Amino acid sequence: MTAPEYTIDPLEWVTRRGTGALADKMGLEWLEFTAERGVARMPVEGNTQPVGLFHGGAYVVLGESLGSMHANYLAGPGRLAVGVDINATHTRSATSGFVTGVCTPLHVGRTLMVHEIVLSDDAGRRCSTVRITNLVKDAAGIA
């Protein structure tokens, strides 16, 4: 996969761009970011259901943050990727530590991108699989 023309390292690009107030509030932390994949994690503590399990919506926030940011990176300067579809299948519950997401593109097109995000607990066990589709368009005139 060819990386877009940027003057800074991809991890610096995503760090400078920011993740948004919700992901920041939930403690998202970038670990790796390249044209081939993105990796981030989120603490279980503070992001749980009343019974102490990592909240299903938190898996989706982590997955969407990874997939949308990676699609925006691949879209390149002057283009904007916006989510148009997302789904998540939860297969295990995290109860402590961190949930780590590994995001890989399944399809990178001129107008549509599809990413899969595998979310795992600290033991490396898959807890959720998220798939997001982003529409890519010209960023001109978008506030």
Q: Active-site residues: which are they?
A: 64
Terminal alpha carbon distance of the chain:
30
Cβ contact 35:10 at 8 Å: yes
Cα 134–Cα 64–Cα 40 angle in degrees, nearest 5: 125
Among 3, 8, 75, 62, which Cα is nearest to 34's? Answer: 3
Residue owning tokens 């990676």: 70
Cα separation, 123 vs 22, in Å, equals 26
Question: Quick one: DSSP state of residue 54?
Answer: B
Contact 108, 132 (CB under 8 A): no
